[in-house]
Structure 1
Amino acid sequence: MTTAPLILLIEDDAQTRRFLKTSLSLRGWSMIETDCGKSGLAMLSNANPDLVILDLGLPDMDGIAVTRRLRQLSDLPILILSARSQEQNKIMALDAGADDYLTKPFGSGELHARLQALMRRVARSLSNQETFETGQLKVDLTRRKVFVADHEVRITPIEFRLLGILIRHAGVVVTHRQLLQEVWGAEHIHDQHYLRIYMGQLRHKLEANPARPRYLLTEVGVGYRMAVNDDD
């Protein structure tokens, strides 16, 4: 019998906690919960969860500060749930170390899908994956070869670095800042035109219809996401 993945929920709203506990338990998740940041940080080491769901509006600590501290303590996936819908809040949370961001109100189906994507990412990293596949796209990460419908596609070293980062985080958004820093360095974190050019080139090489991408998805104002097989 497989053990249900354990979620650490850090959320101060009792109604939201009840909703999440009920809806996610029906989908096979286990949950421990707290209403403040400090106890959440303590529970991280004591309970050994598989994933963290965090609200930004906590009574004792700023959620961004909790995110940074969680990331210092662990590489567990962190999903932000927040009523703060502004793009800047999303960017701040993701840059602080969160893996995904879902704005309230949200549906239980979408939340479940996001959690599954985060767990798949963990499974891929643990398996030291050498090949990534989604739809007709196949990337041999060891030999640095890319195929679409079994036909090899030639891409540049920079394009491959971008693609590799998105694959490493497949299913979740990667911010513009993170991509720019990892590919071009910290001095280029504001040069978003670099990303627009290279992502456009990648889409023309990999997508059947670059204007309606299947694999390289845009999270408007935030970053990009590599789609996985069961994305809509």
Structure 2
Amino acid sequence: MQLMIVEDDDAVATALADAVRASGHDALRVSRGSDALLQHHSAQMILLDLGLPDLDGLEVLRKLRLVTNAPIIILSARNDERSVVRGLRLGADDYLIKPIGLAVLLARIDAVARRAFVQTQGVSDLQVGPLHIDIEKRAAFLQGHELALTAKEFDLLALLANHAGSVVTREQILDSLWGDAFVAVSRSLDVHLTGLRAKLNTPGMIVNVRGVGYRLETPGP
């Protein structure tokens, strides 16, 4: 498993990386919250310190949860109840208070992985009612008729279809299609979304959840 260690203390980061590698995992270390937000794609689990030099760790956690479902374990010296509660409510899978024994940490990593590990990749076809998407051929069909989609429109439709019935946030879309949830490309998303809706020509199929994101509903027969 690929773990990202978000820790600005070199000694602590080295000890963590050595421990997880010794247990058979791969480790990527970053020291800044902004780096974690840009490089999270490669992480299957994230170990997150809260005392980072550029961003507060809880803010990093909040932003990560907009774009990734990868399990996140907080490792922090903050042991006050408010920080622990906020961390868990913002989406952390576990909250461990420093200093923590490495054997205990590895056991908690295994426990979190067992209950929260997210399945990724490997999907070759998506079926949402009469909408069929062939991921490998990058082709989409509605009621048997192929849709003439641009590359970005196809990626957008596939993303929404993979979460059909659930809301996909604007941040998740921007992160998946443009590689950064926090760059100013929202207007580009609006343009591609308008084009996709026109080609689907099915009112109500893509629902705008105001202030959050979009949801793909199963179209009628």
Shift of 1:122: 2.9
Distance in 2 (alpha carbons) for counterparts of 1:74 and 1:123: 12
Partner of 1:79, secondary structure, is strand
Deviation per CA, 1:78-127, whole angstroms, max 9, x where unpaired? 0000001111110011111111000000000110011001110135989x
Q: Give the AA of the match of 2:16.
A: L
> Gapped runs of 5+ residues in structure 1?
127-232
Matching residue within 21, 26, 41 for 2:22: 26
Please provide the CA RMSD for this pair. Answer: 1.5
Q: Give the AA of the match of 1:78.
A: I
Give the match for residue 2 of structure 2.
6
Distance in 1 (alpha carbons) for counterparts of 2:17 and 2:52: 18
Tell which structure's C-alpha radius of gyration is larger. 2
Partner of 1:56, secondary structure, is coil
> Gapped runs of 5+ residues in structure 2?
121-221
Matching residue within 37, 40, 62 for 1:41: 37
* TM-score computed with the length of structure 1 as normaliser: 0.50
Distance in 2 (alpha carbons) for counterparts of 1:41 and 1:123: 19
Q: Give the AA of the match of 1:122.
A: A
Give the match for residue 90 of structure 1.
84
* TM-score computed with the length of structure 2 as normaliser: 0.52
Distance in 1 (alpha carbons) for counterparts of 2:117 and 2:19: 24
Distance in 2 (alpha carbons) for counterparts of 1:28 and 1:87: 33
Distance in 2 (alpha carbons) for counterparts of 1:124 and 1:24: 19
Distance in 1 (alpha carbons) for counterparts of 2:53 and 2:27: 21
Partner of 1:9, secondary structure, is strand
Contact 2:70 2:118 in 1 (8 A): no
Shift of the 124–58 alpha-carbon distance from structure 1 to 2, 3 Å rule, reads closer
Distance in 2 (alpha carbons) for counterparts of 1:125 and 1:10: 22
Q: Give the AA of the match of 1:117.
A: A
Give the match for residue 72 of structure 2.
78
Deviation per CA, 1:192-232, whole angstroms, max 9, x where unpaired? xxxxxxxxxxxxxxxxxxxxxxxxxxxxxxxxxxxxxxxxx
Shift of 1:22: 1.0
Partner of 2:108, secondary structure, is helix
Q: Give the AA of the match of 2:40.
A: L
